[in-house]
Amino acid sequence: MFLRSDKLHEECAVFGASLKTPDAASLTYNGLIALQHRGQESAGIAVTEGNNILYHKNEGLVSEVFDKKTMERLSGSYNAVGHTRYSTKGSATHANVQPIVKEYLTGRIAVCLNGNITNIDKLHEKLAAVGVSFAASSHCDVIAALIAYHNVTLNCTEKSVVAAASELEGAFCLTVMGCDGKVIAVRDPNGYRPLCIGKSEKGIIFASETSALDTCGFELLRDVKPGEVVVAQNGEIVNSSVPLESETLGLCIFEYVYFARPDSVIDGLSVFKARYEMGRRLARECPTDADCVCGVPDSGLEAAMGYAFESGLPYVSGFNKNRYIGRSFIFPTQAERANAVRMKLNPVAFNVEGKRIVVCDDSIVRGTTGGKTIDLLRKAGAKEVHLRISSPPFIHSCSYGTDVGDESTLVANHKTIDEIRELFNADTLAYISLEGLVDACSGCNLPFCLGCFNGEYGVKKN
Report in angstroms how near the CB of residue 8 gets to ligand SF4 at its nearest. 6
257 binds ligand SF4 (CB under 6 A): no
Member of 29, 254, 256, 276 binding ligand SF4 (CB under 6 A): 254
Contact 389, 363 (CB under 8 A): yes
Nearer to ligand SF4, 291 or 403 (CB): 403
3-state secondary structure of 149: helix
Q: Which residues are catalytic?
A: 12
Residue 451, interface with ligand SF4 (CB under 6 A)?
Answer: yes
Nearer residue to ligand SF4 within complex by CB, 209 or 427 = 209
Phi, psi dihedrals of residue 336, rounded to the nearest 5° = -70, -35
Q: How far is the CB of 397 from ligand SF4 (least distance, A)?
A: 8
Q: Is 449 near ligand SF4 (CB under 6 A)?
A: yes
**Nearest in space to 88 (alpha carbons), one of 139, 123, 144:** 139
Residue 91 burial (CB < 10 Å; 0-12/13-18/19+)? exposed
Which residues touch 334 (CB under 8 Å, ≥6 apart)?
none
Shortest separation between residue 119's beta carbon and ligand SF4, angstroms: 17
Give CA separation, 30 vs 78, 234, 395, in Å: 15, 20, 37
If one counts every other C-beta atom within 10 angstroms of the C-beta of residue 69, the result is 8
Q: Is 15 in the site for ligand SF4 (CB under 6 A)?
A: no
Nearest distance in Å: CB 457, ligand SF4: 6
Q: Which is nearer to ligand SF4, 108 or 275 (CB)?
A: 275
Terminal alpha carbon distance of the chain: 48
Give the residue, chosen from 78, 192, 218, 319, that forms a contact with ligand SF4 under the rule CB under 6 A. Answer: 192
Binding segment for ligand SF4 among 47-55, 324-332, 428-436, 451-459 (CB under 6 A)? Answer: 451-459
Dihedral, 137, 229, 102, 54 alpha carbons, nearest 10: -120
The interface region with ligand SF4, picked from 10-18, 82-90, 252-260, 290-298 by CB under 6 A, is 252-260
Q: Is 253 in the site for ligand SF4 (CB under 6 A)?
A: yes
**Do strands 428-431 and 384-389 pair parallel, antiparallel, or not at all (unpaired)?**
parallel
> Segment near ligand SF4 (CB under 6 A), from 280-288, 371-379, 433-441, 449-457?
449-457
Residue pair 202/235 in contact by the 8 Å Cβ criterion: yes
- Distance, CA of 199 to CA of 205 (rounded, Å): 7
The smaller minimum CB distance to ligand SF4, of residues 250 and 279, is found at 250
Q: How far is the CB of 91 from ligand SF4 (least distance, A)?
A: 21
Subset of residues 384 to 413 that bind ligand SF4, contact rule: CB under 6 A: 398, 400, 402
User: DSSP label at 33?
Assistant: H
Site for ligand SF4 contains 62 (CB under 6 A) = no
Query: Contacting ligand SF4 (CB under 6 A), which of 12, 176, 359, 452?
Result: 452
Which residue stretch of 9-17, 180-188, 293-301, 444-452 sits at the interface with ligand SF4 (rule: CB under 6 A)? 444-452
Cα 281 to Cα 57: distance, rounded to the nearest angstrom: 43
Q: How many residues bind ligand SF4 (CB under 6 A)?
A: 13
DSSP line for 344-356: HEEE-HHHHTT-E
Q: How far apart are CA 170 and CA 165, in angstroms?
A: 10
In Å, what is the CA distance from 172 to each residue of 139, 343, 400?
A: 10, 34, 8
Closest approach, Cβ 454 to ligand SF4, in A, equals 9
* Contact positions vs ligand SF4 (CB under 6 A): 8, 192, 252-254, 398, 400, 402, 449-452, 457
